[in-house]
Amino acid sequence: MRTIVTNGTIVNADGRVDADLAIKDGVIQAITPRSAGGITPGPDDVVIDATGCLVVPGGVDAHVHMQLDTGTTVSSDSFESGTIAAAHGGTTTIVDFAEQRAGGNVLQAFEKRMAEAEGQCVVDWALHQILGGVNEQALIDTRSLVEREGVASIKLFMAYPGRLYSDDGQILRALQMCADTGMMAMVHAENGLAIDVLVEQAIAAGNITPDFHSRTRPPELEAEAVHRAAVLSRVAGNAPLYIVHLSSSHALREVVEARSRGTNIFAETCPQYLHLSLEDHLGKGWPDGAAYICSTPLRSKHEHHHADLWEGLRVDQLAVVSTDHCPFCLREQKLANGESFNVVPNGIGGVEHRMDLVFQGVVAGHISAERWVEVCATAPARLFGLGKKGALREGMDADVVVYDPAKVHTLSVATHHMNLDHSAYEGMEVTGAVKTVVSRGDIIVDNGEFHGRAGRGKYLRRDVSQHVR
Ligand code: URP
Ligand code: ZN
Ligand code: ZN
């Protein structure tokens, strides 16, 4: 028995074709243009009619935080609920994080996170390794994860002093290890020491409303950290470097500058930095503004960040759009520690809406449908060593999304599947909607109905990406 996707337009990063697609045993068996006769289903075949629809690779969200323990609370989506939401939104692979803290053991941290996710995910999943305490043993252990567990990427923090922060010496040592192994170093690039001074001064002056989260994390301090990370990557021997949740024009300029010097640097942005702003969202005050507290922060709509980020996506200054999905319920979690911006857990939930929110760039003419596929699926798969994901080609995993480019719908807490009591995108009307989602040959979502099962998602061992060596 095969599954045949008929009558659609197949869109890959490198072009589109009116073609039928056959799936067998979880992989793509054939793609045949209709100009060459298409594929005729047999009597036992399951047929998915994609008339009027785009047929695209399942989304790869390379940056999510399911059930993230912050120390005071846990992000509200479990691996199960978060991957159900991902599936509804056309994302068939997520990459989350194992977290080693200062003084902690990397291998134990990894095992713990594996145990939390194992048997829970609806879609395929993998893990990056966070290093919150870089030392000699942590680097030896991390190096061993490539072979041992198929982990090809680490994450380092230039923010959050006293918690996950690494100083420049620690970052350099970790980047040297990445240059040597080919592991990708993801970096949260913000100058955490300077931010902490601004936070302290704002609080002393009584400036505690949600907008001060952004005002104490100015874009200059994001740009400075990107610049420093790029310099350290070069000094380390051109370590593969990936800037996470890039939010500002200032930081983007540093990426462009570093790339022009041959730095092995890539960057992602997130839907919140393409659609939301300091004034309209963080500026709502309490309680609603708390929903928009995330780091890096939302930026001013008067400073051209949105336009520059869309442009950066179009011309490949930005390689990827991930969500940094990190949901906290508004009253029980975001506001649990009181009404001061510095005690609100950081993060926005959005794993379900990434494909739709980035597709709005296609609708508006900022990017092509091919580029939408590239930044949401192909590039993250390639950069993070997910060789069977991110493209519709014979032999690849059959992760396939049938996407209706004309359907209009409204994002809302009333209809989303994330375990979250609000939506950062409440009431936003979007054009384009997921119709059917296939994960390794299984139809897991069809016309809004969920047919998946917790535990069917497979852990994906990854190899270092040839793309960055
Ligand atoms: O606000 C955010 N992004 N929270 C998640 C942790 C991080 O820094 O990525
Ligand atoms: Zn971060
Ligand atoms: Zn994050």
CATH number at residue 246: 3.20.20.140
CA 160 to chain centre: 20
CA of 74 to the centre of ligand 2 (A): 16
CA distance 284 to 61: 29
Tell me what pLDDT residue 36 has.
98
Residue 336 lies in a domain: yes
User: Residue 188, Cβ neighbours under 10 Å: how many?
Assistant: 24
Average pLDDT over residues 187-214: 98
Give the atom of ligand 1 at the shortest distance from the alpha carbon of 347. Answer: 1
Q: Could you tell which of 75, 213, 245 is best to mutate to test the pocket of ligand 1, judged by most ligand atoms within 8 Å of the CB?
A: 245
Residues 6+ apart with CB under 8 A from 97: 65, 68, 113, 127, 128, 129, 130, 155
pTM exceeds 0.85: yes
CA 110 to chain centre: 20
Position 465 confidence tier, pLDDT thresholds 50, 70, 90: confident
Among 158, 329, 136, 305, which Cα is nearest to 231's? Answer: 158
The whole-chain average pLDDT of the chain stands at 97
Nearest CA to ligand 1 atom 9: 324
Q: Which residues are 12's β-sheet partners?
A: 15
- pLDDT at 468 > cutoff 80: no
Q: Specify the DSSP element, H or E, that contains 371.
A: helix 369-373
Average pLDDT over residues 105-112: 98
* Residue 239, phi then psi, degrees to nearest 5: -65, 140
* Residue 368, phi then psi, degrees to nearest 5: -85, 165
Residues 6+ apart with CB under 8 A from 244: 63, 155, 186, 187, 188, 189, 268, 322, 324
Pocket of ligand 1 contains residue 295 by CB under 6 Å: yes
pLDDT in tens, 142-178: 999 999 999 999 999 999 999 999 999 999 999 999 9
Average pLDDT over residues 35-42: 98
Residue 447 lies in a domain: no
CA distance 38 to 420: 43
Look at the chain and report how many structural domains it folds into.
Answer: 1
Among 292, 415, 431, which Cα is nearest to 355's? Answer: 431
Average pLDDT over residues 266-276: 98
CA of 32 to the centre of ligand 3 (A): 40
Pocket of ligand 1 contains residue 294 by CB under 6 Å: yes
CA of 405 to the centre of ligand 1 (A): 31
Per DSSP (E only), the strands in 286-327 are 320-321
CA distances from 221 to 159, 164, 255 (A): 10, 17, 14
Pocket of ligand 1 contains residue 323 by CB under 6 Å: no
Give the atom of ligand 1 at the shortest distance from the alpha carbon of 294. Answer: 1
Nearest bound ligand to the CA of residue 68: 1
Residue 212 lies in a domain: yes
Pocket of ligand 1 contains residue 153 by CB under 6 Å: no
CA distance 294 to 424: 11
Tell me what pLDDT residue 469 has.
59
CA distance 395 to 169: 44
DSSP label at 419? S
* Residue 438, phi then psi, degrees to nearest 5: -115, 130
Residue 123 lies in a domain: yes
Domain of residue 370 covers 58-383
Identify residues whose C-beta is under 5 A from ligand 3, the ion: 324
CA 105 to chain centre: 26
CA distance 134 to 138: 6
Residue 409 lies in a domain: no
Nearest CA to ligand 1 atom 4: 347
Residue 464 lies in a domain: no
pLDDT in tens, 384-395: 999 999 999 999
Residue 75 lies in a domain: yes
Percent of the chain with pLDDT over 70: 99
Residue 277 lies in a domain: yes
- Is 289:308 a contact under the CB 8 Å cutoff? no
| Residue 20 one-letter amino acid | D
CA of 157 to the centre of ligand 2 (A): 7
Burial readout 135-173 (b: 16 or more C-beta within 10 A, e: otherwise):
eeebbebbbebbeebebbbbbbbbbbeeebbbeeebbbb
Residues 6+ apart with CB under 8 A from 35: 18
Nearest CA to ligand 1 atom 8: 295
Average pLDDT over residues 403-410: 98
Position 437 confidence tier, pLDDT thresholds 50, 70, 90: very high
CA distance 390 to 375: 10
Pocket of ligand 1 contains residue 327 by CB under 6 Å: no
Identify residues whose C-beta is under 5 A from ligand 2, the ion: 188
Pocket of ligand 1 contains residue 322 by CB under 6 Å: no
Pocket of ligand 1 contains residue 347 by CB under 6 Å: yes
| Residue 373 one-letter amino acid | V
The two structure tokens encoding residue 140:
């030896």
Pocket of ligand 1 contains residue 345 by CB under 6 Å: no
pLDDT in tens, 445-461: 999 999 999 999 999 99
